[in-house]
Amino acid sequence: MQFGSRRRKRLLHVAAAAGVLALTAGCSSGLAGGGSEAAADGPIKIGMLAPFSGSESAFGEYMQNGAQLAVNEINADGGVLGRDLELLVEDDACDATTAVSGANKLVTDGIVASVGGYCSGATLPTLPIFDEAGIPMVIPAANSNELVDQGLPGVFLINGTGDQQAEAAVTYAKQIGATNVAVVDDATSYSADLAGAFTEQATAAGLDVVVSETITPGENDYSAVATTLAAEKPALVYWTGYYQEGGLIARQSQDAGFDGVFLVADGSVDAKFAEIAGEGYTENVVGTFTQTPDMIDGADQWIADYEELAGDPPGPYSTQAYDAVRVMAQAIEDAGDTEFDNVVAGLEGLKDFDTFAGPLTFTDTHTLSGGGFVIVAIDPATGAFVLEDDLQG
């Protein structure tokens, strides 16, 4: 009943939009003339929102290049439904307001599917926009549980959820014998969601959560939380925010006397973390993360193809963005058209689709059945995160 209501609402929206277009065509010759025929015969437009400005901009480049590589390969093989794919990108700056503007721009530009989403806090407000426009989403990076808790029929995640990442963090804490732990978040949807999942699972596993702090992102002085960590002496602290603040907290907590393990979530897994923390401050730093191409056997040719396209090596979420395009393309091909309900059915019908994270079959909640998270550590020579433990026992 709920799904039917959404569908009717979407159809009414489309009908209203068609009416506006008809009136516009009548008032301005040529604006919509031949548009529908061109749209049916032209490329299939897919959209990507990612951060291309701000502190997370490096991830946007990785994601765009990964997605474009998939588009190029698919088009070289004949495209989808006999038509080329075209990737349209907009900057969300990891900011909710900017993301809403970008999502509306992509809808206006005629995309039929979305393959973007890095920051959960910026992705969440775009969900109703794409849902209202009848645009299915395969989200490659953002992974807050809130994204799927809303139950929107067109939202699919191909990165592990916050619950799955928290499970990896708790597994690692138990593996190293930590009995008292701490958690620090930055109050964003992604970070707070992950911190809450970690606290719940750690407590259920018998670990004592001795510190639970929330910081304000964008500041330079985190001495208050650093002093607390030094005083309470948890064996492991899980930082669930991004690398800008994470690098500062890692450094300042060590200066204050904290000598436990500094575990960071995937939002902090980037070589810039080591730059910000500084030399001598990363020996105790590890992270929960999904594997990057350099950690995957047999990915050499893919890395070479990526470097030929981008001019630089791939980074975090380049493979997920690559797979998001391939997953969406296969669903459209299986659907036989780009109609929302048919594409959603195509996504739900994928069975063991080959991806970098392994065979993909979506769960009933449109997430992966397994998160695929591993433990990574910082290479002191390069500052890059490398595989430390695959958590396979």
Q: Are residues 174 and 272 located together in one domain of the fold? A: yes
Rounded to 5 degrees, φ, ψ at 131 are: -65, -45
Instruction: State how far the Cα of 295 lies from the Cα of 318, in Å rounded to an integer.
Output: 13
Is 16 domain-assigned? no
Burial of residue 76, with CB atoms counted within 10 A of its CB: 0-12 exposed, 13-18 middle, 19 or more buried: exposed
Q: Are residues 337 and 251 located together in one domain of the fold? A: no
**Is residue 338 within 8 Å of residue 332, measured between CB atoms?**
yes
Q: Is the pLDDT confidence value at 31 over 60? A: no
The domain tally of the chain equals 2
Q: Are residues 120 and 181 located together in one domain of the fold? A: no
Q: Are residues 153 and 167 located together in one domain of the fold? A: no
Is 331 domain-assigned? yes
pLDDT at 276: 96
Q: Are residues 207 and 283 located together in one domain of the fold? A: yes
Which CATH number does the domain housing residue 329 bear?
3.40.50.2300
Q: What percent of the chain is modeled with pLDDT above 90?
A: 75
Domain that holds residue 278: 163-293+374-389
The CB density around residue 12, as the number of other CB atoms within 10 Å, is 11
Instruction: State how far the Cα of 114 lies from the Cα of 88, in Å rounded to an integer.
Output: 9
> What are the tokens at 385?
């995160």
Q: Are residues 66 and 103 located together in one domain of the fold? A: yes
pTM of the model: 0.77
Is 26 domain-assigned? no
pLDDT digits (tens, 9 = 90+) for 218-264: 999 999 999 999 999 999 999 999 999 999 999 999 999 999 999 99
pLDDT at 179: 96
Q: Is the pLDDT confidence value at 158 over 60? A: yes
Q: Are residues 241 and 382 located together in one domain of the fold? A: yes
pLDDT at 5: 38
Indicate the pLDDT class of residue 14, thresholds 50, 70 and 90.
very low
Q: Are residues 129 and 274 located together in one domain of the fold? A: no
Is 14 domain-assigned? no
The CB density around residue 17, as the number of other CB atoms within 10 Å, is 12
Is 84 domain-assigned? yes
Is 7 domain-assigned? no
Residues near 195 by beta carbon (within 8 Å), at least 6 away in sequence = 183, 184, 185, 212, 214, 238, 240
Segment 25-33 mean pLDDT = 31
pLDDT at 66: 97
Q: Are residues 280 and 333 located together in one domain of the fold? A: no
* DSSP code for 293: G
pLDDT at 270: 86
Q: Are residues 98 and 148 located together in one domain of the fold? A: yes
Rounded to 5 degrees, φ, ψ at 373 are: -80, 145
| b/e map 20-51, b = 16+ CB within 10 Å | eeeeeeeeeeeebeeeeeeeeeebbbbbbbbb
Instruction: State how far the Cα of 174 lies from the Cα of 160, in Å rounded to an integer.
Output: 20
Is 312 domain-assigned? no
Q: Are residues 81 and 105 located together in one domain of the fold? A: yes
Indicate the pLDDT class of residue 39, thresholds 50, 70 and 90.
low
**Is residue 189 within 8 Å of residue 124, measured between CB atoms?**
yes
Q: Is the pLDDT confidence value at 24 over 50? A: no
Burial of residue 61, with CB atoms counted within 10 A of its CB: 0-12 exposed, 13-18 middle, 19 or more buried: middle
pLDDT digits (tens, 9 = 90+) for 324-356: 999 999 999 999 999 999 999 999 999 999 998
pLDDT digits (tens, 9 = 90+) for 46-55: 999 999 998 7
Q: Are residues 188 and 275 located together in one domain of the fold? A: yes
Is 368 domain-assigned? no
Q: How many CA atoms lie within 13 A of 118 on its CB side?
A: 33
DSSP 139-172: ESS---THHHHT--TTEEE-S--HHHHHHHHHHH
Specify the pairing of strand 236-239 against strand 113-114: unpaired
* Mean of per-residue pLDDT scores for the chain: 89
